[in-house]
Structure 1
């Protein structure tokens, strides 16, 4: 047996051990992943339940599982059953910004045939927040009125984080649909003072609908600012004025001789005899006459 053969025989067990040490953890991870997926799937299936209380409990459990449930819930958005699609969207909204990978499919659901599913998808996009702003901005350009309504409603709930949508929201104030115009005005109001310069400029727009929507949004913004200022003024008024409540230490002290009785005044002489009062005469009884 030559040296090369001996070396191969010696190295063979070592190589086999190294391979096993690499493969066994991978097998364990695959089994663990399969276990997690089966638990997620079993929980997601519970979303078919029509009991609202049980559905909420299921959403809480899915939320506790974290990011591992997002792929399964995203796939469930395409389920044939309305209850499953809406429940999956609601659960993704409960997870929040971590569910950003589901945004494209949620945008598609804004034109779902079922009104409740559209609402669940809209609320989910609102809760995901700023990661969904770009997709919602594109959705505002859709020819589908339902999509524009849902997108503007979702942006109205995101607030200041949607400031990049100010120009297109001002354009949406002239939309053909009244609900879209209202939602856009509310969205601009939710963005707050950042939108004020653009809204003031929109007051001079040639389109009366844009002027009206801008005025409504500005009126709400100014009202909220004035309310905040009034609250601050009320808090300031409740604070005690130190110049009024604290005594003036330089003011003269009160004269105690004017408030207390004069202890130097003469006391009455108790040795002087008292005068006896004149006794009151008692009338004598009149004798009765015997007839």
Structure 2
């Protein structure tokens, strides 16, 4: 049965704003403008960048040149841990606005928790202040991850926000795919109304596992489409990335099918916990 969702279907954040349920990731993309342009032309309305990616300028250009009204495109960027701190965060938000050449940022994330508790909270407070000033719409975190076997090692990064009596993050962006399912942190986020964005949903292009190949055959869809669809059916907001416009388009052709319960169960059975991560997992940050 075809899904009723589309690339422009949104989920409501706890900030009150709507976020499209699929976004284009642009990390390590040397062809950022063509990829973003193809994405926007073919229905994407959500682009995920970061200062660390060094392509905010390209993302902003693609958004402006798309001809799509600014309010219809959801732009995310992030501040990296070496730049954390209250005044530093103010400066870096302004830098991002200047590079993107937009008047507001839809979602601003703390990129990682590696700066330590004091600076994390300073940064979060600064982002909330910039939100209150009207240049950010929603504030969230990234890489506030769980990791195994220590099932609470990532949760304490989120708990410190609650303990400081600050607003709950709108989003937690973490690595998520069948091999790295981070179930305890996913459960925490769902319990606290934090939307989960899934980066590296395509496992960096490693589709070799027999289960992924079998589900691809049984569904009649590419492995990449299967993995994006798995993420959507788990209730996540996947951020597939590619520098090739044709793959950008194909990765999002996921709304004309659903994975069966049996197919989902097979993919769910691939979880390797922390050992399944293909990027990094900063869960041991103090």
- TM-score interval, smaller chain: under 0.3
Q: Greater helix percent: which structure?
A: 1
TM-score by length of 1: 0.25
Higher relative contact order (CA 8 A, sep 6+): 2
Structure with higher Rg: it is 1
Q: Greater strand percent: which structure?
A: 2
